[in-house]
Amino acid sequence: MSSKACTCIRAFTFRDAAAQKESLSKHVHDDGDHAQSASRVYESAREIGLGARPVIAVAFCRPRGRKRGRAHLLSRCLWLSGRTAAPGNLLALFHGRFSRVLISSCHRREFDRYQLSLDQKKQMPLIVNADQPREATFDSSLEPGRTYDVLIKTVSGNVASWPTTGNVTTREPVTRKIEEEHVLLEDLFPGAGYEIKVYAISHNQWSEPHVYFQAVYPNPVRNLTISDTTNTSVILAWQPPIESLFTHYIVRYRTVESRDWVVLQAVNKTVAVVDHLQPGERYVIQVRSVSHYVESFTAEEVEQTVPPNPVRGIAPILDSQNITFEWPRPEGRIDLYTIIWWNDATPDRKKSKEIPGTQATEGIERKLTILIGELRPGELYHFKVYTTAHEVNSKDVELSSRTMPVITSDITIVNQLETRSFTIRYTPTPRSVATFDTYRFMLSDPSIPVKEKSAVDDDRKIIFNGLVPGRLYNITAWTVSGGVTSQPLIRQDRLYPEPVSNINASYISDTEITLSWKKPNGDYDSFEVQYLRDNELFTNSTKQDSITITRLRPHRNYTFTVLTRAGSTRKSKPVSAAFTTSESTPGKVDEFEPIEIKPNQVTFRWSLPPDEQNGVLLGFNIKYGIKDTTPTNVRHFEPDELLGVIPNLIPGKTYSFQIEATTKIGSGRIKYWEGTMPVWSPPRPSSQVFPTEVSRTSTTIRIRYRKNYFSNQNGQVVGYTIVVAEDDTKNSEGLELPAWQDVQSYSFWPPYQITEMYYPFNKTSVEDFDIGIEEDCDTHVGYCNGPLKPGTTYRVKIRAYTARTKFADTYFSHPITTDSESGNVGLAVAIPVLLLVLIVVMIMIIRRRRACGFTKRAPDPGSDMHSLPDSIIETSRPVKLQDFVAHYRFMSADSEYHFSEEYEALSHVGCDLQRNAAYMSVNRPKNRFTNILPYDHSRFKLQPTDDEEGSDYINANYVPGYNSPREFIVSQGPLLSTRDDFWRMCWESNSRAIVMLTRCIEKGREKCDHYWPYNTQPVRYGDIQVTILNESRFPDWTISEFRVCKGDVCRVVRHFHFTTWPDFGVPDPPQTLVRFVRAFRERVGPDQKPIVVHCSAGVGRSGTFIALDRILFSIRTSDYVDIFGIVYEMRRERVSMVQTEQQYICIHQCLLAVLEGRENEHPVHEIHDNQGYEDDEGIVESGM
């Protein structure tokens, strides 16, 4: 065939006229001819009404090399709808090359299926089940214009009926010749598929055809409706298109805000389910019919809002006036949450709350939290919750919930040494503040039944019996409304444990006793064994049923008291038993000291305290001897002898003495004394002993004296000298006497010494000495034995020495007169006598004048130090830090004697200060102790209330610290009646820290009221509300934070509670107190003042704490410390600050530990309680 086929052909399906020209222009080749062809196609289609019904437009190009003007042949190989009635009940429709057979009816339905076949062997029979639509299509191997016979049988099992037959003739193809390059095909059947062949014709020669298959738009579906809707799906229903072929349906949907469509899988039924939708979204849904992949020109469309998800998993969180709801955010769109509520009392007064859907969520579960407030405690409320999206509401969720009632009762636990029961008393909670039915009480032991009381029951007492002695119980109280309980009100108390029984001593020695006893029933932590030793109360603890008490005194009767201890406060009734230790050797003799020491004997005094005898005393033995030799001399004294003389000692020798007491067991420890025997002046000889004259000349005298003139009783005589006097009335007893040269100016020579000390009795016992034999005394240095005056009367005495300064003289000898040379002897005698008389008279006058001029008035015995001003009284005793260690050792020596002396010097401080306010009758009950009263000048004054007398009074004083003269407010431990005033003081002083140095109960006595809440529930003290925010426990102290509010103003106050100060004495080791002060100052700066400090009386422990705080500040910048001055200054502001000597010593011990770097050490000591140093004891309680 010489003609060429078309090289391109396209079919266009137009949905509307507006898109025709644009689509044709887009798909036709871009050349002039083609553009004109597309334009002509568009114009022809517009002229014949294209768009009013489905059409197929075909455009194709002319064969290459062909001339214009030749005709083209278009063969339209398709058939319009044709109908041929078949015999019986058969209707067949034929379109193109396929045939669809419709079975109109069948009179009997007792069969399984239809079997259809054509009268040609190439066609396989078709099977249609009886319950399927009665349709069948033959779409292969059919020829146009031919008549076919159709046979239909019903089949049941393997048995077929007689056939029904009919015949159908297929349509002839339509052929159209055109000279244009486009053609408009009309009157096509909707949804039908057509095969189009285009031939090029030249000179009646046909080219090979260009074949193209195209389906016509099927008619749209009808009556699209929504039959059902859920939160995630929509069920659609529609009617099939009329007079149209179609193969299936296409369903599309999108949200109204989106442009992207979601297409479902092909649908063959007139019902479809669109699922997996987002709840709360509004969707646009389209349904189109489809034939041969061509969708209907128009779509049936509907808009539908999917209901939003309802709220699920609502969890109410109850409070007394609020209910907080939590739920996970529902999936999908939520524009609004709505909550409506009401209660049974006012069902017509409903309230509502709307929450935007954009409310913030929390956590992985995206939970919402909604608070419904201003509700009445204990009331039952009903709630309805729903969500809204696009003005469509979800299903309602209804629930009921009751607010928690409140409990404002005050619970008191009455425990009068009971071991097996609790009695609880409570005040009513007003019905005006909450709705509730009953009070509920429960112990922490689940085996104890819960007890309830009606809200209207006037008997407000609950008794729990059958409890375990010594057990710590949590007592919890609630109000209950409809099964909903209030916040618990918790109190804690411990039953008293039962006492032990059958105390026995399984072992007794001189220093140890092993005790055992029978354990009590119930709970207990330990056993406490108390006993007195040396008037000190000792307490030992053990967890066993036996204990060995050591360090006892021998031969003593001890009474042991055993208490069962449960917790830190509960002790059982005491059970006591007495036992005596065995006899032993005595203790060390006390006060072994000489009361009189002579050169050759010592008189000792000693004592042995009764508690050191350790048995039946047999006596005392004193052993002695010269030092560094073995004592060989022993003197025995009877038990009742406490004085003894040791004779026959050698003067000047050093002796060692040791004394020991003895019992039948043996001798005790030795007490030593060592001393050197004194050397005294020799005993003065009697008046009958004096030197005698042997011979004389005019200038010399020979005298004689003997060795035995002087005794060696007071020491060995080591030398002698001679004293000569012309005038023996002058004093001659001095150590230094004039020499011969010194008396030459006197008319009557006074006593003078003629020689240095010498010893003449080495080989003889008699000494003859010549006086006046030396001639050159004028040039001699020292004593000189110069010549005597002739015819002059002299007296002579001998001086003996036991030491250079120890001497004794004989009496003067009888007068000895030298021989005369010449002259008037009478005149020589008269002149000295007259001079002597004058001298005596003058001496008497001078002495009388001196006696009158220097007479002193005796001091007034009634005067004392109290009346002296501070400028006279010692107020400061600073010590350099570098010398403090040595100072402490000095003060500690001799049983801390110097500490006692220094502390005693502080006893008068403050005695002159006034305390008038404390003595007012209205204020006396406010004092815990009658003798610890605040000074007027420094007392803290509360703001007066209503001009009430005494309303400004509280037992507290300002006390200076290192940083400010009013850094501290020191107060007594609050009484139950003054704790409101205590909180007023804290508030009005703007204090942010409280230091508490006592436990509330010590030794079974109240030391301080528990003035803060027991738990985290707020408590009001007057018009001040206190709430515990947190609490941190340490081994020796507890630190808490309180929120303190008055009206709308709130503050945070720290509470530092030192919990291990022993009942007696001071912290052991003292480093514990240092660490507590350090911990306090880490949290409270020097600018946070004033600081409230209290113990029980507010003087002893409080003063110790403040003094240590000041010292730790001062040693940072100063090289000395003045503990005495600090205590003195504090006592001028508050009475008895640093109350005991042991506390005063403790301050020194704390500083010593800091200076030696031991403040973080933890030495282990036996805890002992010293009755003599008991803190706050000895203070008289007011009894109010």
Q: How far apart are CA 147 and CA 161, in angstroms?
A: 24
161-178 residue pLDDT tens:
888 888 887 777 888 888
The domains located in the chain, with CATH, are: 9-78+175-215 (2.60.40.10), 89-167 (2.60.40.10), 222-305 (2.60.40.10), 315-402 (2.60.40.10), 411-492 (2.60.40.10), 501-580 (2.60.40.10), 595-676 (2.60.40.10), 692-831 (2.60.40.10), 879-1173 (3.90.190.10)
Strand residue runs (E) in 664-729: 671-676, 692-696, 701-706, 719-725
Could you give phi then psi for residue 924, rounded to 5 degrees?
A: -60, -40
785-811 residue pLDDT tens:
999 999 999 999 999 999 988 999 999
**Cβ density class 569-578: b for 16+ within 10 Å, e for less:** ebbbeebeee
Contact 206, 225 (CB under 8 A): no
- Residue 1049 — pLDDT band, cuts 50, 70, 90? very high
Considering only residues 35 and 434, tell me which one the structure prediction assigns the higher pLDDT. 434
Between helix 884-904 and helix 1141-1155 the angle, nearest 10°, is 170
Lowest mean pLDDT among 33-42, 255-264, 355-364: 33-42
Contact 786, 749 (CB under 8 A): no
Q: What is the model's pLDDT at position 844?
A: 62
Contacts of 967 (CB under 8 A, 6+ apart): 959, 960, 961, 1089, 1090, 1091
How would DSSP label each residue in 715-731? Answer: S---EEEEEEESSTTS-
Contacts of 457 (CB under 8 A, 6+ apart): none
Lowest mean pLDDT among 19-23, 270-274, 371-375: 19-23
Q: What is the model's pLDDT at position 846?
A: 54
CA distances from 239 to 192, 243, 275, 293 (A): 19, 12, 21, 20
1137-1147 residue pLDDT tens:
999 999 999 99
- Residue 841 — pLDDT band, cuts 50, 70, 90? low
Considering only residues 151 and 1181, tell me which one the structure prediction assigns the higher pLDDT. 151
Q: Which residue has the tokens 């200054």?
A: 1129
**Is the pLDDT confidence value at 235 over 60?**
yes
1115-1124 residue pLDDT tens:
998 899 999 9
Q: How far apart are CA 1147 and CA 616, in angstroms?
A: 43
526-533 and 536-542 beta bridge pairing: antiparallel
Q: What is the model's pLDDT at position 73?
A: 33
Contacts of 953 (CB under 8 A, 6+ apart): 917, 918, 920, 922, 923, 926, 939, 941, 942
Q: Which class for 947: exposed (0-12), middle (13-18), buried (19 or more C-beta within 10 A)? A: exposed
Q: What is the model's pLDDT at position 859?
A: 34
Considering only residues 733 and 31, tell me which one the structure prediction assigns the higher pLDDT. 733
* Average pLDDT of the segment spanning 478-487: 91
Nearest to 653 by CA among 631, 630, 677: 677
Lowest mean pLDDT among 823-827, 959-963, 1029-1033: 823-827
Q: What is the model's pLDDT at position 779?
A: 83
* Chain centroid offset of residue 451 CA: 35
Q: How far apart are CA 1061 and CA 724, in angstroms?
A: 79
Contact 1014, 1040 (CB under 8 A): no
**Between vectors from CA 873 to CA 867 and to CA 874, what angle results, nearest 5°?**
160
Considering only residues 859 and 266, tell me which one the structure prediction assigns the higher pLDDT. 266
**Is the pLDDT confidence value at 864 over 90?**
no
Q: Which long-range contacts (CB under 8 A, 24 or more apart) does 258-263 make?
A: 261/286
Q: What is the model's pLDDT at position 626?
A: 92
**Is the pLDDT confidence value at 78 over 50?**
no
Given 784, 986, 1008, 1095, which residue is catalytic? 1095
Q: How far apart are CA 197 and CA 208, in angstroms?
A: 9
Q: Is the peptide bond before 173 cis (omega within 30 degrees of 0)?
A: no
**Is the pLDDT confidence value at 1064 over 50?**
yes
Average pLDDT score, the chain: 83
Considering only residues 838 and 725, tell me which one the structure prediction assigns the higher pLDDT. 725
Q: What is the model's pLDDT at position 830?
A: 57
Handedness of CA 1115, 1118, 1122, 1128 (dihedral sign): negative
Q: Enumerate the β-bridge partners of residue 520.
A: none
Question: Which one-letter DSSP state was computed for residue 984?
Answer: H
CA distances from 651 to 593, 597, 759, 842 (A): 18, 10, 19, 43
Nearest to 985 by CA among 999, 974, 997: 974
Percent with pLDDT over 90 in the chain: 55
**Is the pLDDT confidence value at 862 over 80?**
no
Q: What is the model's pLDDT at position 1057?
A: 97
1142-1177 residue pLDDT tens:
999 999 999 999 998 888 775 433 333 333 334 444
Nearest to 538 by CA among 1172, 1169, 1173: 1169
Considering only residues 23 and 854, tell me which one the structure prediction assigns the higher pLDDT. 23
Q: What is the model's pLDDT at position 134?
A: 81
| Total Cβ atoms within 10 A of residue 590 | 12
Q: What is the model's pLDDT at position 569?
A: 81
Q: How far apart are CA 75 and CA 60, in angstroms?
A: 13
**Is the pLDDT confidence value at 755 over 50?**
yes
| 3-class SS shares of the chain: helix, strand, coil, % to 5 | 15, 35, 50
Q: How far apart are CA 192 and CA 458, in angstroms?
A: 96
* Average pLDDT of the segment spanning 726-754: 91
Nearest to 64 by CA among 200, 195, 198, 159: 200
* Average pLDDT of the segment spanning 986-990: 95
Between helix 1071-1083 and helix 1141-1155 the angle, nearest 10°, is 70
* Average pLDDT of the segment spanning 37-66: 38
Lowest mean pLDDT among 763-777, 819-833, 903-917: 819-833
CA distances from 957 to 856, 918, 1104, 1180 (A): 46, 12, 16, 20
Q: How far apart are CA 1013 and CA 491, in angstroms?
A: 10
Lowest mean pLDDT among 371-385, 701-715, 814-828: 814-828
Q: What is the model's pLDDT at position 166?
A: 82
**Is the pLDDT confidence value at 6 over 80?**
no
Q: What is the model's pLDDT at position 98?
A: 45
Q: What is the model's pLDDT at position 102?
A: 47
Q: What is the model's pLDDT at position 132?
A: 83
Q: Which residue has the tokens 């409506």?
A: 340
Q: How far apart are CA 941 and CA 924, in angstroms?
A: 16
Nearest to 1106 by CA among 1088, 1085, 1123: 1123
Contacts of 61 (CB under 8 A, 6+ apart): 6, 7, 8, 9, 29, 34, 181
303-351 residue pLDDT tens:
999 999 999 999 999 888 899 999 999 988 999 999 999 998 888 889 9
- Residue 51 — pLDDT band, cuts 50, 70, 90? very low
Contact 46, 183 (CB under 8 A): no
Is residue 1008 flagged as an active site residue? no
- The token duo for 197 is 């062949």
Q: What is the model's pLDDT at position 838?
A: 72
* Average pLDDT of the segment spanning 191-209: 90
Report the amino acid identity of residue 425. R
What is the dihedral angle through the alpha carbons of 1153, 1154, 1160, 1162, rounded to the nearest 10 degrees? 10
SS (H, E, C) 246-312: CCEEEEEEEECCCCCCEECCCECCCEEEECCCCCCCEEEEEEEEEECCEECCCCEEEEEECCCCCCC
Q: How far apart are CA 299 and CA 20, in angstroms?
A: 19
